[in-house]
Amino acid sequence: MAPDSEVPPPPAEVEPQPEPTGAGRLVGSPHASAAHDCVLALTKAARSFTLYDPANKVVRKLIGEYREKTRHVLDTFGALHLVVHPYELLLGTEVVYLDQDRERSLAFRLFRDGVRSLTFETGTSWEELVHLLQILSIRYTGVRQQEDDLVTLLRKAGFEHIKLAAIEGFIPEEEQAEAALAGGAQGRHTSRYDPPDQWDLPLPPLKEAAPLRYRPVSEDLLERLRAEESPETAATDALRAVLELLDLAAGTDLETVTGFALEARQFLIVERRLDLLVDLLRGARAPLAAVPGAFESFVGAFLDEDTLRALVLGLPADTAELPAPLAEVLEGAPGDVVGRMVDLLIAEGTGTRAPLLRRLVAHSCGLSTDIIAGRLHEAQGPSKVALLQLLAEVDPPAALRAAEEACRSDDGEVQLEALRMLEAVDFSPETARALRHLVESPVEQVRTAALPVMAERGGPRVTATLVAHAEKRVESLSAAEAKATGGAIARSSPRVALDTFRGWLEAKGGGLLGRLVKMPAPPILQQVALAGLERIGGPEADELLGVLAEKGEDAVAAAAKAAVRRRQSGGGERRG
């Protein structure tokens, strides 16, 4: 049958030539090479739909390559005219595609359905290219005989810039490697030919029909068969599959295999097989070690926030020693993994798993504290407390500097944590300044906690500061803070404390007038002095307690009398 009259015949310069043989002819002119790349990209993209889900990133990558290669050949060399043979596509006299596998060959599928040439004009749009790809992918996946052939599908598409020449029916002289019928049939029937090798002939009927027999399968064999695909073995099978693929694909197609590994990770999390998650990471180290940076990149993608959270929740909150496999995986983990664990610690704050998270971060980040320091400046409240505690475990000098800076905060919780850190270090000018900030904190709880620490660490060097604190806040000191201030003054320097308290309590001048004049110190300073005198023993302190008992404000006088009675009974000196 003649070619379709609706489609213009191919130009004269690209009329089909005698078919070349051999794959070596695939290397030719630049135009042929570009056409070869274009056709290969088209076939790979079309076949990918039989292997992958259309939304898979591998399919998207192949479609992108198909678009790029097609646009390159059209923009560089103009229209692309391909002549179709049973196993080859030709550009002029050069073979640009050769595949003798009839199940895979694009040329065979085109030729079988009647397409004899295919032309891509320079104005071919991306929408037309996508529609062509859809048609070819349908023919790759189609198995039913009643489906439309390629010629029908291409005509229905109504392409404006993709042209085809096609026939309807089978013309034997266009087939390759067809031998004439043997004997006299050759001379009598010149239009008949033997079909080519491997043609789809029906299978011959069997000469003998054997009866179908069944044999019972033992329960033991059935149980073994069920165990191969049981829910209990699915997780271990997933782990084995990932590790085997990593061994096979190391250095070649890691992107595809690591994508499968990430899907297996989600399955293991759902199955609560966290032990296998760690085994997967450990097993991936060896096959990925051959590619620089591959394992670190894999760990960074594998240990996302959800996976890390699942691993942490899978460990008891009071875990003292990290499991060896997990410690091995986290040792020297990439910075983004460390950052995610720090974020988990910030979210945990001062919760029950905070100590465990601190150990995990300390083990994984080593001596690198840049990530912790960066988040410390932005954190507030419990999160900042958690980071200060973490920094104290990882880098004590850096933690001390951070604590001194945290003393300037207005957050009472943060200041209390900084105070706990300052208690453990040697006293220095920097420490003294930091404690001074805490003593002047706007939070009373911080002030009352910082006063005894400042006195104990600073000694006589801070007595004047403590006295000034009491006198400056005479109008605002609470009873609790007054007691803490008095105790701190007495602890820092008992001698200076006695002189200071005497100056507050005794009226100027002596004799009868001095005994009659009311005590000059305001009630709050009387409470400060009382708290300090209770810590100091000796006659001088007893004398001043007597003054308070005689002339102090009613509540102070009552407390002073009780202190005197305790001392007289031998149970009240130097109370803590």
Three-state SS letters, 460-524: HHHHHHHHHHHHHCCCCCCHHHHHHHHHHHHHHCHHHHHHHHHHHHCCCCCHHHHHHCCCCCCHH
pLDDT band at 510 (very low <50, low <70, confident <90, very high): very low
Among 50, 187, 190, which residue's Cα sits nearest to residue 109?
Answer: 50
Cβ proximity of 452 and 434 under 8 Å: no
Task: Give per-residue pLDDT as tens, 322-347.
Answer: 777 777 777 666 677 777 777 777 77
The two tokens of residue 356 are: 């465990």
Report the pLDDT value the prediction gives residue 17, as an integer from 0 to 100.
36
Task: Please tell me the least confidently modeled range out of 137-141, 205-209, 293-297.
Answer: 137-141
For residue 575, pLDDT beyond 50? no
Quote the CA–CA distance of 317 and 333 in Å, as a whole number. 22
- Greatest mean pLDDT range, 26-40, 115-129, 228-242, 367-381: 115-129
Task: Give per-residue pLDDT as tens, 409-434.
Answer: 888 888 888 888 888 788 888 888 88
Quote the CA–CA distance of 407 and 525 in Å, as a whole number. 27
pLDDT band at 459 (very low <50, low <70, confident <90, very high): confident
Place of tokens 């013309």: 171
Task: Please tell me the least confidently modeled range out of 5-9, 126-130, 251-255, 558-562.
Answer: 5-9
Task: Please tell me the least confidently modeled range out of 208-217, 231-240, 324-333, 484-493.
Answer: 324-333
409 CB-near residues (< 8 Å, 6+ apart): 384, 415, 418
- Tell which phi-psi region holds residue 88, choosing left (phi > 0), alpha (psi between -120 and 50) or beta: beta
pLDDT band at 142 (very low <50, low <70, confident <90, very high): low
Report the pLDDT value the prediction gives residue 518, as an integer from 0 to 100.
59
Compute the radius of gyration of the chain from its Cα atoms.
45
Provide the mean pLDDT of the chain.
77
Burial class (CB in 10 A: 0-12, 13-18, 19+), 495: exposed
- The stretch 131-138 carries a mean pLDDT of 83
175 CB-near residues (< 8 Å, 6+ apart): 86, 193, 196
Q: How far is CA 304 from the centre of its chain?
A: 3
- The stretch 104-128 carries a mean pLDDT of 89
Burial class (CB in 10 A: 0-12, 13-18, 19+), 111: buried
pLDDT band at 513 (very low <50, low <70, confident <90, very high): very low
Report the pLDDT value the prediction gives residue 204, as an integer from 0 to 100.
72
pLDDT: which is higher, 8 or 271: 271
Quote the CA–CA distance of 388 and 71 in Å, as a whole number. 58
pLDDT band at 202 (very low <50, low <70, confident <90, very high): low
pLDDT band at 551 (very low <50, low <70, confident <90, very high): confident
Report the pLDDT value the prediction gives residue 287, as an integer from 0 to 100.
79
For residue 181, pLDDT beyond 80? no
Report the pLDDT value the prediction gives residue 158, as an integer from 0 to 100.
85
Cβ proximity of 476 and 521 under 8 Å: no
pLDDT band at 215 (very low <50, low <70, confident <90, very high): confident
Quote the CA–CA distance of 318 and 312 in Å, as a whole number. 11
For residue 543, pLDDT beyond 80? yes
Q: In what order do the strands lie in the sheet with 115-120?
A: 94-98, 88-91, 80-84, 115-120, 162-166
Task: Please tell me the least confidently modeled range out of 92-96, 189-193, 195-199, 426-430.
Answer: 189-193
